[in-house]
Amino acid sequence: MGLFILRRLLMLIPTLLGMSVLIFLMLRLLPGDIVDIIVGADPQADSAARQRLREAMGLDDPIPVQYVRWLGDLLRGDPGVSLRSGKPVGQILWQSLPITVELAVLAVLMATVVAIPLGVISAVKRDTGMDFGARVAGLIGLSLPNFWIATLLLLFTSTQFGWVPKTRYISLFDDPLGNLKQMWLPAAAIAVQLMAIEMRMTRTTMLEVLNQDYIRTARAKGLRDQVVVYRHALRNALIPVITVIGFQLGALMGSSAIIEVIFGLNGVGYTLLQAIFNRDYPLVQAAVLYLAIVFVLINLVVDVLYAVLDPRIKQA
Amino acid sequence: MSQVTEAMTLGRVGRQVRPWWALPKRWRNPIGIVGAIIVLLTVVTAVFAPVIAPYDPDAQDHDRLLPPSWSNLMGTDELGRDTFSRIVFGARVSLQVGVIAVVIALVVGAALGVAAGFFGGRLDAWLMRVVDILFAFPGLVLAIVIAGLLGASRTNAMIAIGVVYAPAFARVVRGSVLSVMSEPYVEAGRVVGASNARLIAQHVLPNIVAPLIVMTTVYLSSAILAEAGLSFLGLGTQPPEPSWGGMLNLARTYMEISPWMAIFPGLAIMIVVLGFNFLGDGLRDVLDPRLKMN
């Protein structure tokens, strides 16, 4: 197992390097000049001052040189300074990460608790009215934009209970109850779609597993239906579902940006959006790379977990 | 007994008698049909928007923030524009962005996938490595960054969504091409001296269409959602053009006075996306040979 993990970790290196090249090129080759953005509001900046700034920032060097310098800084743990606030980029991201992570974990938990039982019921009672209802509900859940759900939830809570989202993040460790009060609504808005995806996946894999020979054997030796379904079928059916859940966790690093905006939560997605609007290039670069690294690492954990749960994978 | 003999003499044993108007059995998936109807209605709405919409979608000639009534079916917005007319015209934006973005993804992805699968070797290895790297980014983040950096506009939103979806198409196309390439008819084509272009056009492409149709339908729904999301964030279609995502974003400011503004655009997005998802579900039953056996 140790070797397997090590091999996967080593395989990450080219991927991460490729990602960093891509991010860097994207920001350099797209239209817009960083210098214009920095001095944009300053009418006194003449071309000589611009040139001095360009040289100071090393923008006249060839792009490969700039890339190597940026990567070197990154590896030394210095992703640069925000053009907007002047704060170190690393610090800004470090502060916003817990919010995004908590939101993702909470949403996935909410979704899973509902989705897996529903998926199992739908598969076991296949082609009944209940199955049909669950399938249609799944497709509807898949089609609901989470930012609409979020808007409606806010509308409902503010008109019915006068509840308004707090703009300052309450840490889970300082005040667990206050934190959950703040976070459950945005998490619920995200959870609806995840729930639909997980439920459909559970249903599909359950149907596949229920057709297997070992299920027939289990039934034939007289085990009760419940034991067959939960102990034999569900355990095997859950393996692909876990992959999906892991993938959702990863994708939520950043795709929760819209929800963070709606609820005024200062997470990584929100930070990234603001950085884009402000053309704060160092922050954009670092935030994208940061989200991508977390995404890739979560995928790695999922792969490893998969191998632990399904010994057949390891040999491949 | 006599009935059985009668049926046998008439030669109808084992044959389904189906009225001429009924669809073949495997086309009769109610979910798929509902989806097809929704999609068709959306297309009709988009095409005939000027006929269907009772008012000019940009004309500010009503009272502001009116609730729904017979003269303004969905009420009016903060500038006194008719919400129903804007929703109708918004169908154009949604479909246009969705279709063009997916076409970009399809063309780029299919070209890369066919090249990788057909020629194999080093080209395949390199192309797939790039695809893997693109896959390693969370999709929406990539779309936000591309759309944001190119500059917020509808065209750039289409490009961003297309770029983000292209790797997925490349992967599926490559997989299908690889499985088709091992078929005897491709081999036979090669033996009789068909050129690569002819092999691709005549033998490979026609045989990978089925999975692509399903995939395109499903991605159309997510592209429409993505456009709405980008416009909601101010990175897609710009006001005053009516886009559902943008309308929803504006509605947040006024929703306590006029909740209608927040309800109808979201409903429109949901129904259209649902239509494409239903259609995709139905098409999968029809076109995916793996599931046909059930």
3-state secondary structure A107-174: HHHHHHHHHHHHHHHHHHCCCCHHHHHHHHHHHHHHHCCHHHHHHHHHHHHHHHHCCCCCCCCCCCCC
Distance CA A268, CA A287 (A): 7
Residue type, B152: A
Distance from CA of B209 to the nearest CA of A (A): 24
Distance CA A272, CA B103 (A): 28
Inter-chain residue contact A19 with B148, CB threshold 8 Å = no
Q: What is the pLDDT of residue B215?
A: 87
Chain A residue nearest residue B228, CA to CA: A145
Distance from CA of A174 to the nearest CA of B (A): 30
Mean pLDDT of A54-62: 77
If pLDDT is split at 50, 70 and 90, which confidence band does A110 have? very high
Q: What is the pLDDT of residue A32?
A: 62
Inter-chain residue contact B233 with A261, CB threshold 8 Å = yes
Inter-chain residue contact B141 with A296, CB threshold 8 Å = no
Neighbouring-strand partners of residue A88: A81
Chain B residue nearest residue A200, CA to CA: B281
Q: Is the pLDDT of residue A273 over 60?
A: yes
- Each residue's pLDDT tens digit, B243-288: 999 999 999 888 888 888 899 999 999 999 999 999 988 888 777 6
Is B245 in contact with B227 (CB distance < 8 Å)? yes
Best CA proximity match to A147, nearest among A263, A288, A252: A263
Q: What is the pLDDT of residue B150?
A: 87
Inter-chain residue contact A15 with B229, CB threshold 8 Å = no
Distance from CA of A155 to the nearest CA of B (A): 7
Q: What are the contacts of B46-55 at 24+ separation with CB within 8 A?
A: B46/B91, B46/B92, B46/B94, B46/B95, B46/B96, B49/B88, B49/B89, B49/B91, B49/B92, B52/B88, B53/B82, B53/B84, B53/B85, B53/B88, B53/B89, B54/B82, B54/B84, B54/B85, B55/B81, B55/B82, B55/B85
Cβ-Cβ contacts under 8 Å between A and B: the total is: 133
Distance from CA of B246 to the nearest CA of A (A): 12
Inter-chain residue contact B252 with A272, CB threshold 8 Å = no
Is B42 in contact with B272 (CB distance < 8 Å)? yes
Question: Bigger pLDDT: A79 or B243?
Answer: B243
The token pair that represents A147 in the structure block: 């930012």
The overall average pLDDT reported for chain A is: 85
Distance from CA of A38 to the nearest CA of B (A): 16
Find the range with the poorest average confidence among A27-41, A185-199, A222-236, A245-259: A27-41
Taking the CB of residue B196, how many other CB atoms lie within 10 A of it? 11
This model of the complex carries an ipTM of 0.86
Q: Is the pLDDT of residue A114 over 50?
A: yes
Please report, for residues A189, A252, A268, A272, B140, the alpha-carbon distance to residue A256 in angstroms, rounded to integers and kept in the order given.
Answer: 10, 5, 9, 11, 9
Question: In a 3-state reduction of DSSP, which class is residue A81?
Answer: strand
Contacts of B232 in chain A (CB under 8 A): 147, 258
Partner residue facing B138 (CB), from A155, A250, A276: A250
Residues 108-147 of A with CB under 8 A from B: 135-136, 139-140, 142-145, 147
Mean pLDDT of A264-291: 89
Q: What is the pLDDT of residue A37?
A: 67
Distance CA B173, CA B115 (A): 10
Count helices and strands (H / E) in chain B: 13, 0
Is B226 in contact with B144 (CB distance < 8 Å)? no
Q: What is the pLDDT of residue A186?
A: 93
Distance CA A174, CA A166 (A): 15
Contacts of A258 in chain B (CB under 8 A): 229, 232-233
Q: Which residues contact B129 (CB under 8 A, 6 or more apart)?
A: A14, A18
**A270 shares contact with chain B (CB less than 8 Å):** no
**A11 shares contact with chain B (CB less than 8 Å):** no
Inter-chain residue contact B270 with A143, CB threshold 8 Å = yes
Neighbouring-strand partners of residue B76: B82
Mean pLDDT of A124-153: 90
Find the range with the poorest average confidence among A8-12, A172-176, A223-227, A272-276: A172-176
If pLDDT is split at 50, 70 and 90, which confidence band does A127 have? confident
Q: What is the pLDDT of residue A224?
A: 86
Chain B residue nearest residue A211, CA to CA: B294
Inter-chain residue contact A251 with B132, CB threshold 8 Å = no
Inter-chain residue contact A255 with B146, CB threshold 8 Å = no
Distance CA B286, CA B294 (A): 12
Question: In a 3-state reduction of DSSP, which class is residue A281?
Answer: helix
Partner residue facing A288 (CB), from B134, B141, B278: B141
Chain A residue nearest residue B230, CA to CA: A258
If pLDDT is split at 50, 70 and 90, which confidence band does A316 have? very low
Inter-chain residue contact B133 with A18, CB threshold 8 Å = yes
Distance CA B267, CA B259 (A): 13
Mutation target for B interface from A139, A154, A200, A256: give the one with most B CBs within 10 A: A139
Q: What is the CA radius of gyration of chain B?
A: 24
Inter-chain residue contact A273 with B148, CB threshold 8 Å = yes
Could you read off the pLDDT tens digit of each residue along chain B, which spans 294 residues? 455 555 445 544 445 555 555 556 656 678 889 999 999 999 999 999 999 999 989 888 888 888 888 888 888 888 889 999 999 999 999 999 999 999 999 999 999 999 998 888 899 989 988 888 888 788 888 899 899 888 889 999 999 999 999 999 999 999 889 888 888 888 888 888 888 888 888 888 888 888 888 889 889 999 999 999 999 999 999 988 899 999 999 998 888 888 888 999 999 999 999 999 999 888 887 776 554 433
Q: What is the pLDDT of residue B7?
A: 47
Distance from CA of B198 to the nearest CA of A (A): 35
**A284 shares contact with chain B (CB less than 8 Å):** yes
Inter-chain residue contact A18 with B263, CB threshold 8 Å = no
Using CA of residue A256, residue A257, residue A259, residue A265, what is the dihedral sign?
A: positive
Distance CA A257, CA B174 (A): 32
Question: Bigger pLDDT: A304 or B285?
Answer: A304
Best CA proximity match to A239, nearest among A146, A306, A288: A306
**A308 shares contact with chain B (CB less than 8 Å):** no
Contacts of B228 in chain A (CB under 8 A): 145, 147
**A22 shares contact with chain B (CB less than 8 Å):** yes
Distance CA B128, CA A14 (A): 13
Inter-chain residue contact A139 with B248, CB threshold 8 Å = no
The token pair that represents B33 in the structure block: 């049909």
